Structure formats: C-alpha cells, structure tokens
A and B are shown apart, each in its own frame.
Chain A
Amino acid sequence: MRRTILYFLFLPVLITSCFKEIDTVVQYKTTEEIFTSQRDIYKNVTFFKIYENTTQEVLNKPLGGWDLAFQSAKSGDIVLVNYTVSAKAIKTGRFDFSAVNKSTVNELFNSDEWKFNDPAYSNIKDSVALKDWENKEVYLVNRGSSSVPEEAYYKIQFISKTPETYTFRYAHVESTEVIEKTINRTSSLANVYFSFKENEVVEHEPNINEWEFYFAPYFGWFETLTAGEYSPYNVTGAMINNEGGVRVAQVFDGGIDYKDIDLTMAQSLTYSDWKGGIGSTWKKIPSINNPVYLMDTDKKYVIKLKDGNYYKLRFLDYYLNGKQGYPSFEMLLIN
C-alpha cells in the first residue's frame, strides 16, 4: 500500500519534470551540406550552429519580442533598438525625464533625426541609434512595426553603468509610472534583451557559444542601383556571431569557383568580425520583368570558427515550395 502511495506521489513529479525538458529541447533540423531553412525569414529570427558535417537550427524567435539589446559578454556598452521591426530612436534635447511626453512625440514625429540600427554595423558604436546614451539625454524610442501607434512610443534615459550592469529608466510617453531597471551583464550571452511591454529581460538568443549566425529581416543600409549610394531599406539576411568569435571572409571574385576554395586559399584570406559580413546581398535585386530572387553566384563566403575550422558557404535558393523567404545554402568544412 505504501509503495502504491509513493508511486502516485512520484508519478506526477516525474511527469511534470519532463515538461521543462520538452520545452527547452532544441528541435534540430538535420542536414548534410545543404540546408533549407524551414522558417520564413520575413517573420523569424533563426539561429544556427555549424558542425563539421552539418548545420543545425538551434533557436527560433518571432520578431518584436524585445525593445533594447544590451551588449553583454564582450567588452563594450552598445545598446540597440529592435532592428527586425524597424524600431527607431531620437534624441529629445531634454535631460529632464518628466519633460518628455506625448507632446514631444508630436513635435519630433516628422523629424529626420530618427535613427535606426542596421545590425550589420551594430558592432560599430558610432552607427547605432543610442550611441550617446551615456550623456543622460532622454531618448524617444519608436518600437517599430510590431506595435500599434498608441503603444509604440517610449522614453528612456540611461542612468549609470558598471562593468557588470546597465541602469536606466523608461516609461510610455503617456504614463506617469516611471520604471527603473538594472540589467545584469552575463558572460553567456552576446546581448541581454529587454522588453518594455514585459517589463523584464526576455530570452532572444542562444548561449554565445551555441550559435554562429542568424537569419532575420532587418532595417538596414542597402546599396542602391547606383553603386556606392546607400538607402535605408527592409532587407533579409544573415548576421554572424562576431561576439562569439566567428569571423568571415568574402570571396566575391566570379573567377573563383566555390569548389576551388580549399584550405590553402582559406588560410590566405583576410577575416573580419564585421557582423554583416554575410549580410543580404547574396541574392540579387529582382528585376521588374522577372520578379524572382536569384542567387548571386559570384558571392561565396568563408567562415572561420573559434576552433580554427574553416567552412565555405554559398546560397543556392530563396524559395521553399514556391514560397519566398526560405534560404537554401551549402556549408562545407574545408579540410
């Protein structure tokens, strides 16, 4: 009888203990050299890890789940607004937090001074929207396309930082409730993400050692048909985990065939920590007469990982069952 009672006591414990496990088990998409993303790149941020014989999806997140990203594991204090939903920020010229309200939004609504974050350049502080946050000026943040207008505008003011923390205050522009938060840095994440709506830190990216690049839509600088002229545009592409030690070299010479990229060549290339080293231009701009995304076959990439291995990458397609936004790529270990 006692055994039976014990069994029934422990059974629910055993069952519920499985729930957390199931929730957090990564659903790997196994591949060989060729991988076709099963996620719509226009609606998801999908993180990938490269292994010697395969590339695997390790985490997928919808857009708009966070508002501020705080640089965490590596040195630096860059704070980003959500580039996947075209969030923007603007300096208000005010240092009194209470003096910024809905009228300030009306005043600055059509200003040309709203800044966005191109994630490709997010490791260059001068290019980020909140680059001068340490001077304690009050910023307005437009949370971007995942927010309806009345929920879109927040004011933020950074208060202090230590080697381990960021402290800031924020409020909706119509709210009198001012919330002060301290973000604790961690060595396990490249960035710590914060949501105004949730009023807390939210999970967005995997452990810094568990991913090499992600696919996402983002608002960034796009080279127009006039070479050298750039315009802000919504694009889709891949960002590398430069904070986690991933480096990339572009092999854009049409005379070099993908199959000819070998270890000797890989070792001779110059590698960059530029987050947008893969970026979005591996696909060509569709023409009005043939509105289909074709791959730019000249563009190949070599990725160097922290373990010293080199991988060559090329994109093969942008469609899955006729639906646009599902990149296929080939990733090969260079022996």
Chain B
Amino acid sequence: MKYTAQIILLIFTLSLVATSCSKDSNDVQPPTAGFTLNSLELTQWDIATISNSSTSPIANSNVEYTVSGGEYKLDDESIQFLEVGTYTVTQTITNDDGSDSATLTVEVTAPNNVYTLDGSELSIGTTDKPNFYWYDGTAQGGTLYLRALGSVDGQDNPNLIKLMPVAGPNPIQADYTWSASGDIGTYDAGMTANYAGFSYDWTTNGNQGEDLSIKLVYKAASSADNVYDIILSSYTLNYGNWNFGTGTFDSEGTKALTLSYRGKIDPAN
C-alpha cells in the first residue's frame, strides 16, 4: 500500500513535469518559406541571384534550396543554370516548430548566338561546328585565334568569322581594344563569305572596330568546357578579293559586323 501511494505520487509528479514542458498550441511558431530570383526567364549559364524572404519567429532555423530539372551550380546566394529546360527551385525552411517550403519555376532557354552583317541577323554555328573554336593561325603568320562558322540559307558553304584576340600568356577572358599590331590586349577580326577553303565569295582585309569583350561565364573542370560570352559591338570589315596574280587586295567596300555569342570554345584539334 505504501508502495502504491509512492508510485501514484511519482506518476503524478512526472505528468506535471511533462505537461509543463509541452507548449500550448498557441505558442507553436513554425517558419514561413519565401524567396525570389532576379528573373524566372533565363538564358543557359545565366546566374540567378536568390533573395531570401523566409521568416522564422524563433532562432535556429535552417534554409535549404533544392534544384531539379537539369544540371546546375548552387551556392548560398545564387544558382547557375547549366542546361536548357524547365527547372524547379524549392526553398525549405525548418525550425524547431516545423517547416515550410516555397517553389519557383524557371524557364531556361538556349543562348541566341548571332552575328549581324550590315544589320541582317544570321546564326552562329553549323552542324559540325556549333561553337567557336580555336584555330592555329601560325600558317598565316598569326597565332592561335578564334573561328566560328555560320550556316546561311541558300548558300552552299558557311560564312567564316575570325576573331584574333591577343591574350599572350593570359586567360582569354579580357577586354581587347582593336589594333592590327598583334600586341597583347589587342584584337583584330575578319570574315570570309561562302567559305570553302580556297574558294569563297569575298573575304576581308582588316579595318577597325570597337572593343571586343570575352568573359568567362562558367568555369568547368576542364578548360575545354568553359563557357564564355563573346561580344563584338561593332567592327567595320573591308571586304573584297585577293588578286593572286598581283598579290594585292581588291577592296569592294565595307560591311558592318556585330556579334553576340555564349558557349564553349572548342579545342583546335
């Protein structure tokens, strides 16, 4: 009997302690998820900045982001979208009283890689050569430089665009000023229409332009997979044909070239 009373007292005490520790339902303070991205319509390899607007009335909350829909690169404040498609970004915030989540849908489209020739917009890339690529220009007395091909409707062969930024021993990403001097930090450009090696409609012999910008937008494990923005805001091409008999260039006039490209630069070989 004595033990029975003691057990009852113990259970009563424990229940008092237990109920004193539990919260009243009015005291539960779960978090509220919330975030925005600076844009929901992005271009492949764009970086979206995350603005976190989630709240937690109590301390010790934890915010996590999950991304699905393709390859991506995530850090605390931004997400870089590495593929074309529809991505879902989910924020989950958790605290001691619960969790909440919020979701955004992001549409990622392919870069619009184009050049304009006298104002007409044309696409960069062919089936075999979709990207800019390094070209060994030493045979022409130059150095390693960048080339791109562009298919043209109704034309047998693609157009060839040549960008010759002089990086020296530096990374290719830089701003280059126009000059035919070949000094480090300068660039020159050229173009050949309907290019089939030794035959073409017309080619160029220099002239001048505004700055060429090459920016690294995605650094990959291998430099061959790096992604760059290449912007040529304006270049005036002196076009015509070489006269192989006299060794002179017969100019036929000028054409205005601009270029906007985002993508890889493929190796020379």
Contact with A along B52-94 (1 / 0, CB 8 A): 0000000000000000000000000000000000000000000
Assign chain B's interface to a size class.
20 to 34
Task: Tell me which residues across on chain B come within 8 A of A233, comparing CB atoms.
Answer: 139
Task: Tell me which residues across on chain A come within 8 A of B134, comparing CB atoms.
Answer: 145, 148
Task: Tell me which residues across on chain A come within 8 A of B268, comparing CB atoms.
Answer: 85, 145-146
Contact with B along A252-273 (1 / 0, CB 8 A): 0000000000000000000000
Known: A149-B172, A150-B169, A151-B223. A144 touches B136 (CB 8 A): yes
Known: A110-B182, A219-B139, A234-B136. A288 touches B169 (CB 8 A): no
Q: Report yes or no: A291 in contact with B196, Cβ–Cβ below 8 A.
A: yes
**CA of A244 to CA of B192, assembled, Å:** 45
Q: How many residues of A contact B (CB 8 A)?
A: 33
Q: Report yes or no: B169 in contact with A86, Cβ–Cβ below 8 A.
A: no
**CA of A108 to CA of B223, assembled, Å:** 25
**CA of A149 to CA of B214, assembled, Å:** 13
**CA of A43 to CA of B136, assembled, Å:** 12
B244 beta carbon closer than 8 Å to chain A: yes
Q: How far does the Cβ of B230 sit from chain A's closest Cβ, in whole Å?
A: 14
Known: A148-B223, A288-B198. A106 touches B269 (CB 8 A): no
Task: Tell me which residues across on chain A come within 8 A of B244, comparing CB atoms.
Answer: 288
**CA of A62 to CA of B224, assembled, Å:** 16
Main secondary structure on B side of the interface with A: loop
Q: Which of B138, B166, B167, B182 has the most CB of A within 10 A?
A: B138
Q: Report yes or no: A149 in contact with B269, Cβ–Cβ below 8 A.
A: no
Q: How far does the Cβ of A318 sit from chain B's closest Cβ, in whole Å?
A: 13
Contact with A along B133-175 (1 / 0, CB 8 A): 0111011000010000000000000000000001111111000
Among A43, A149, A153, A291, the residue within 8 A (CB) of B144 is A149
Q: Report yes or no: A174 in contact with B198, Cβ–Cβ below 8 A.
A: no
Q: Report yes or no: B184 in contact with A109, Cβ–Cβ below 8 A.
A: yes
Among A64, A109, A146, A234, the residue within 8 A (CB) of B139 is A234
Contact with A along B253-269 (1 / 0, CB 8 A): 00000000000010111
A286 beta carbon closer than 8 Å to chain B: yes
Task: Tell me which residues across on chain A come within 8 A of B182, comparing CB atoms.
Answer: 110
Q: Report yes or no: B169 in contact with A153, Cβ–Cβ below 8 A.
A: yes
Q: Which of B166, B184, B269 has the most CB of A within 10 A?
A: B269
Q: Report yes or no: B139 in contact with A150, Cβ–Cβ below 8 A.
A: no
Q: Report yes or no: B144 in contact with A145, Cβ–Cβ below 8 A.
A: yes
Q: Report yes or no: A232 in contact with B139, Cβ–Cβ below 8 A.
A: yes
Q: Report yes or no: B197 in contact with A149, Cβ–Cβ below 8 A.
A: no
Q: Report yes or no: B197 in contact with A106, Cβ–Cβ below 8 A.
A: no
Contact with B along A206-226 (1 / 0, CB 8 A): 000000000000010000000
Known: A105-B168, A150-B171, A151-B223. A86 touches B136 (CB 8 A): yes
Residue of chain B at shortest CB distance from A105? B169
**CA of A150 to CA of B172, assembled, Å:** 7
Q: How far does the Cβ of B47 sit from chain A's closest Cβ, in whole Å?
A: 23
Contact with B along A146-161 (1 / 0, CB 8 A): 1011111100000000
**CA of A291 to CA of B171, assembled, Å:** 36
Task: Tell me which residues across on chain A come within 8 A of B267, comparing CB atoms.
Answer: 146
Task: Tell me which residues across on chain B come within 8 A of A86, comparing CB atoms.
Answer: 136, 138
Q: How far does the Cβ of B221 sit from chain A's closest Cβ, in whole Å?
A: 14
Q: Which chain A residues (25-59) contact chain B, with CB distance < 8 Å?
A: 42-43
A169 beta carbon closer than 8 Å to chain B: no
Task: Tell me which residues across on chain A come within 8 A of B136, comparing CB atoms.
Answer: 85-86, 144-145, 234
Residue of chain A at shortest CB distance from B138? A86
Q: Report yes or no: B198 in contact with A291, Cβ–Cβ below 8 A.
A: yes
Residue of chain B at shortest CB distance from A87? B138
Residue of chain B at shortest CB distance from A222? B139
Known: A85-B269, A286-B197, A288-B198. A234 touches B171 (CB 8 A): no
Q: Report yes or no: B138 in contact with A232, Cβ–Cβ below 8 A.
A: yes
Residue of chain A at shortest CB distance from B198? A291
Q: Which chain A residues (157-197) contact chain B, with CB distance < 8 Å?
A: 173-174
Known: A219-B138, A232-B139, A288-B198. A152 touches B169 (CB 8 A): yes
State the 8 A-B residue pairs at the shortest beta-carbon distance, nearest first.
A291-B198, A145-B136, A149-B167, A234-B139, A145-B268, A105-B169, A150-B171, A153-B169
23 pairs, A vs B, C-beta closer than 8 Å: A43-B269, A63-B269, A64-B269, A85-B136, A85-B268, A109-B168, A110-B182, A116-B138, A144-B136, A145-B134, A145-B135, A146-B269, A149-B144, A149-B171, A149-B172, A150-B169, A174-B169, A219-B138, A286-B197, A287-B198, A288-B198, A289-B199, A291-B198
**Additional 12 contacts, C-beta under 8 A, given A144-B136, A150-B169:** A106-B169, A109-B169, A145-B144, A146-B267, A148-B172, A148-B223, A149-B168, A150-B172, A219-B139, A234-B136, A288-B244, A291-B198
B residues at A contact (CB < 8 Å): 134-136, 138-139, 144, 166-172, 182-184, 196-199, 223, 244, 265, 267-269
A residues at B contact (CB < 8 Å): 42-43, 62-64, 85-86, 102, 105-106, 109-110, 116, 144-146, 148-153, 173-174, 219, 232-234, 286-289, 291
